[in-house]
Structure 1
Amino acid sequence: MRLFLLPLLAFAATACAATPVDVATPAPARPTVQVSPATTAEQAGLVDVATLAPDIRVEMRYAGSDNFTGAVVPGYEARKCLLLEPAAEALAKVQADLRSQDLSLTIFDCYRPVRAVHAFVDWAHHLSDQRTKAEHYPNVDKSTLLGPYIAETSGHSRGATVDLGIIRCKQRYDEALCDPLDMGADFDLFDPRANTDSPAITEAQRANRQLLLDAMKQRGFVNYPMEWWHFTFKPEPTPTTAYDVPVK
Structure 2
Amino acid sequence: MKLRHARWIAACGLFASCAPRLVDVEALPRPPVLDVRYATTDNFTRTKLYPLPKVFLHPDTARALEEVQSDLASRGLGLKIFDGYRPLSVQWKMWNLIHDERYVSNPAVNRGRHTRGTAVDVTLVDRRGRELPMGTAFDDFTDRAHPDYAALPEAVKGNRRLLAEVMTRHGFEAYAYEWWHFDLKGWKRYPVLDVGIDQLAVAR
Structure 2 CA distance for partners of 1:158 and 1:187, relative to 1, 3 Å: same
Structure 2 CA distance for partners of 1:240 and 1:215, relative to 1, 3 Å: closer
- Does 2:115 correspond to 1:157? yes
TM-score (norm 2): 0.83
Q: Which residue of 1 aligns with 2:101?
A: 147
Q: CA deviation at 1:240?
A: 5.3
User: Which residue of the other structure, out of 178, 192, 197, is the alignment partner of 1:242?
Assistant: 192
Q: Is the 8 A contact 1:49 1:92 kept in 2?
A: no
For 2:146 and 2:37, the matched residues in 1 are separated by 20
- Does 2:38 correspond to 1:38? no
Which runs of no fewer than 5 residues in structure 1 stay unpaired? Answer: 1-32, 125-144, 170-176
1:6-28 Cα offsets, whole Å, 9 max, x none, are: xxxxxxxxxxxxxxxxxxxxxxx
Q: Which residue of 2 aligns with 1:222?
A: 173
- Letter matched to residue 73 of structure 2: R
Number of equivalences: 185
Rg bigger for which structure?
1
For 2:180 and 2:32, the matched residues in 1 are separated by 16
Q: CA deviation at 1:88?
A: 0.5
Q: Which residue of 2 aligns with 1:57?
A: 33
Q: Which residue of 1 aligns with 2:144?
A: 193
For 2:162 and 2:131, the matched residues in 1 are separated by 13
Q: Which residue of 1 aligns with 2:66?
A: 92
Q: Is the 8 A contact 1:97 1:215 kept in 2?
A: yes
For 1:79 and 1:229, the matched residues in 2 are separated by 18
For 1:119 and 1:40, the matched residues in 2 are separated by 23
For 1:197 and 1:53, the matched residues in 2 are separated by 32
For 1:36 and 1:48, the matched residues in 2 are separated by 20
For 2:136 and 2:17, the matched residues in 1 are separated by 35
1:80-125 Cα offsets, whole Å, 9 max, x none, are: 221110111110111111112221100011011101111112333x
- Does 2:163 correspond to 1:212? yes
Deviates more, 1:57-66 or 1:103-112: 57-66
Q: CA deviation at 1:53?
A: 3.4
Find the residue that maps to 1:207 and give its secondary structure: helix
Runs of 4+ aligned residues of structure 1 deviating over 3 Å after TM superposition are: none
Aligned positions of 1:12-23 closer than 5 A? none
Q: Work out the percentage of aligned pairs sharing the same amino acid.
A: 35
Q: Which residue of 2 aligns with 1:178?
A: 129
User: Which residue of the other structure, out of 66, 82, 90, is the alignment partner of 2:42?
Assistant: 66
For 2:17 and 2:157, the matched residues in 1 are separated by 40
Q: Is the 8 A contact 1:158 1:239 kept in 2?
A: no
Structure 2 CA distance for partners of 1:47 and 1:240, relative to 1, 3 Å: closer
For 2:149 and 2:18, the matched residues in 1 are separated by 37
